[in-house]
Structures are given as C-alpha cells and as structure tokens.
Amino acid sequence: MMKPFLLALLATVAAPVAAQAPATTADGTTSTTTYIQAGNVLDRPGQAPRGKTTIIVRDGKVVELRDGFVAPEAGAALVDLRDRFVLPGLVDMHVHLWGIGGDPMRARLEALNRDRFDDEMTAVANARATLAAGFTSVRDLGGDPRGIRALRDAIDARIVDGPSITNAGEMISVTGGHGDGGNGLAEEFADMVHSREVNLCDGPDDCRRAVRAQVALGARVIKFAATGGVLSNVSGGLGRAMTPEEMRAIIETAHTLGRKVAAHSHAAEGTRAALEAGVDSIEHGTFLDADTIKLFKTKGAYLVPTEIAPVAALAQARGGALPPATIEKAEAAAAAMAASHRRAYAAGVKVAFGTDTGVSKHGDNATEFAWLVKNGLTPAQAIAAATVGAADLLGRDDIGTLAPGKTADIIAVAASPLDDVTRLEHVDFVMHRGKVLAAR
C-alpha cells in the first residue's frame, strides 16, 4: 500500500501538472512551465546547499533559480517541495538493464523459455524502476545491442519512461574471456552462441573490428574485459585476459570514433595495462596497488567502484544461485575490494558512481551510497560522484548540477542526504527532462 505521504505528494504534484495547458509562444510552438518550490536545494554538489528556493523549469530545461518561494506565473504548474531536500537527478555509470536482474536462479531456470522479446519487456520494467529510484541517467554496459538501442531511443522519444541511456552494446572480450557467452555451455549451445557473437576478438586487428561492430550496432560507449570476471561460468580467476596491444587497439579505435571506453577490470595487472593504454574508466578496480593508484591520477581516469556488486554476487554464489566456478572468484573480489577502494579514495582518485545493477536488483541502486561512505567517501563526495563526477565521465555538460540551461533532471528526498546518505534510498519525487513522474 502506498504511504499516506506519497498519496499526498502525488495529489499536489500530479494534479497541477495534469491540469496545465501548454502556452503558445509567438512562433506558434508550445511551452510548458513548472515552478518547483524547494525547502533546500543542492544545486551544485560539492558546494553548500541553498535554502528556500524556487526552480523554474521551461520546456525540459532549468531556466532560473530564485531565492525564496515564488508564486508561479499564469498558466504554470506548481510543485510543492517546501519541506523536501532537492538535488540533481542521480547518474549510475554501470547498469545492465537487459533481462532479469538480481535473480540469477530465476534467470537460469527460465533460460529455455525466454527470448529477446521477454528480455526487452523486462528491460522496460527495469528502466522504469531505475528512474523511480531517482536515477535519471545511466550508462548501460552490457546487454543486447539492438534491444538497448531501441530502449534508449524509446525513452528519448518519451514512448516509455526510463533514464537517459548511454549504451555500450556488448562487452568486447577475447575468446574464452569474461564476455564470451559460450563459456560453460554444452557444445551445441556454445557453437550456436559463438556463431552470433561479434564482440569476441583475438589480436589487435580483430579487436579493432569488434569496436567498429559495436559502434555499427549503435554503441555510444565501448566496454571491454581487461580481466576475468566473477560471473563468468568458467574457471581461471580474475587475472589479466587481454594483451596490452589488444587494449590499445580497442581504446585507440573507440576514441577515433568519438566513443569513451570503460574497462571491466579486477586484477591490478589488467587495470595498469588499461590505464597505460588510455582508458577513460575502470569498472570495479578490485585489486589496486600503490603504483596503479598513482597511474589513475597521472592519467586522469575514473574509478567506477560498483561496491554492492561483489556483496550481491557473493550472497548469490553461497546460496547456490550461481555456477560453482563463480564462488571462489566472488569471495576473492568481496574480500579485496573495500581495502583497495579505501586506498584509492584517500589518494584522491576520481570517482564516478556505478553499481553493476543487474547483478543486484534494479531500483536498489542507491544502496551503493552507504558502501561508498563506509569505505571512505564523505556523503558529499559520494553524491558528487553520482552527479558532477558521472556527468564529467559521460562527457555531458547538461546534467549533474541545477543551473540555467541544464536539463531539468531533479529529485527530492525527505531530508538532507549530506547528513545521512541512506536517505537517497527513498526518493519522493522525480522529474526527468522536465516531466514529473510518480515517485515510488
């Protein structure tokens, strides 16, 4: 049952918006204006919040922030958040929207009964849950390339509700590596999977082809597996899987095509090689030593920590929901990650918020904040990682802060998350590109 507060909030938010008639401008187009009266506003994460503020939104953009509670102009909608703490929409830099997420046993049991159409419908639901949790932009780092591209475009066209997506298509991997979908399958199934995979590559020239193939399928960012992975149904640990030459070929090709590059990496050797090759972000970064941390800072690369991922994977592995080959890897990753990240945070490595949701459940993304704080970030730093830091890594200057000209991605919580970051786990209000959505 919906909480009484949420019923009251939706009554004050949804009714004015639904009743609003767009005004006609001089050139014959329509204009939609919303006034948000906010008790406190963290308009620039990393700086002190504002007090009573009115945010004026027009045609999906923030046009002005005024001190105090300003009455709306004629024809404008009013959103009353005078007893709420308002901040920019959050950004998760590592999600997997495609298919069943956070329930690997169900995924395994239904594998022979589901096809890509089922997974597409589940992805729509996952996107909606992610947006309702306050995440207005995400970077999807692995799913059906055509399906995620279609979901991205449907959200952009406002056909379905979900966060703005920067998609990677399929993760590029060497044969037998973490992104080889045939790992652990029976012969007939492995042969069928391999016949369709364009993300596998062996050798620098083949890896250049793999990058171009993902771009041709609509990828706006490239991801590759520098090391082994926890969830691969294959033994071999978490060590470096690609040669430095293969990594350089991937990164150079992607950068030439205007795409940033994310490297899935656990072992320090793989992380060092990826950083030396010029990668933009390291996903997970489970085993970090002093030299690797120094290299992060020299190269200006981001760490995307995904701290809830090994916790969720270890629980699933111990509970029998994952294949036996994953258990030892999950235990090693969970044991090492916290200490590595504490050293990285203390050294001032740049951090962008990411969860690897899809390993954990969609909509629970904000539980990552508590782990970041537990392992050394302040609440202010953790929030900055999910706003200004993530926006910088995405290469987007229209999100991350609330200022004139920015996209109106806005959320609200009951009280200041600067005092208790877990308040971000309970988002009361979401606006995405100027459209108010029902909060959960």
**Block residue for tokens 């005024």:** 66
Whole-Å CA distances, 28 to 177, 254, 402? 56, 42, 28
Query: Does the pLDDT of residue 398 top 70, yes or no?
Result: yes
Phi, psi of 373 (to 5 degrees): -70, -40
User: What is the pLDDT, as a whole number, of residue 176?
Assistant: 78
Return the number of other C-beta atoms located less than 10 Å from residue 33's C-beta: 19
Dist CA 127 CA 158 (whole Å): 13
Residues counted in the chain: 440
Query: Does the pLDDT of residue 7 top 90, yes or no?
Result: no
User: What is the pLDDT, as a whole number, of residue 127?
Assistant: 97
Query: What is the three-class DSSP state of 261?
Result: strand
Residue 412 · residue 428 · CB < 8 Å:
yes
Query: What is the three-class DSSP state of 410?
Result: strand
Q: Which two tokens stand for residue 94?
A: 């590592």
Closest among 359, 389, 392 to 372, alpha carbons compared: 389
Q: Which two tokens stand for residue 18?
A: 């639904």
Query: Does the pLDDT of residue 317 top 80, yes or no?
Result: no
Q: Chain-wide mean pLDDT for the chain?
A: 86
Query: Does the pLDDT of residue 332 top 80, yes or no?
Result: no
Provide the angle, in degrees to the nearest 10, between the axes of the packed helices 244-256 and 204-216: 30
Residue type, 418: L
**Block residue for tokens 């008639």:** 21
Planar angle of CA 93, 95, 99, nearest 5 degrees: 165
Band of pLDDT at residue 17, cut at 50, 70 and 90: very low
Q: Which two tokens stand for residue 418?
A: 């600067």
User: What is the pLDDT, as a whole number, of residue 41?
Assistant: 98
For the chain, give the percent of residues with pLDDT over 90: 70
Q: Best-predicted range by mean pLDDT among 102-111, 176-185, 429-438?
A: 429-438
Dist CA 354 CA 303 (whole Å): 9
User: What is the pLDDT, as a whole number, of residue 186?
Assistant: 45
**Block residue for tokens 């729509």:** 124
Dist CA 256 CA 239 (whole Å): 28
Task: Annotate 407-426 with b (16+ C-beta within 10 A) or e (fewer).
Answer: bbbbbbbeebbbebbebbbe
Query: Does the pLDDT of residue 6 top 80, yes or no?
Result: no
Domains of the chain, earliest start first = 4-89+401-437 (2.30.40.10), 90-362 (3.20.20.140)
What is the pTM assigned to this prediction?
0.87
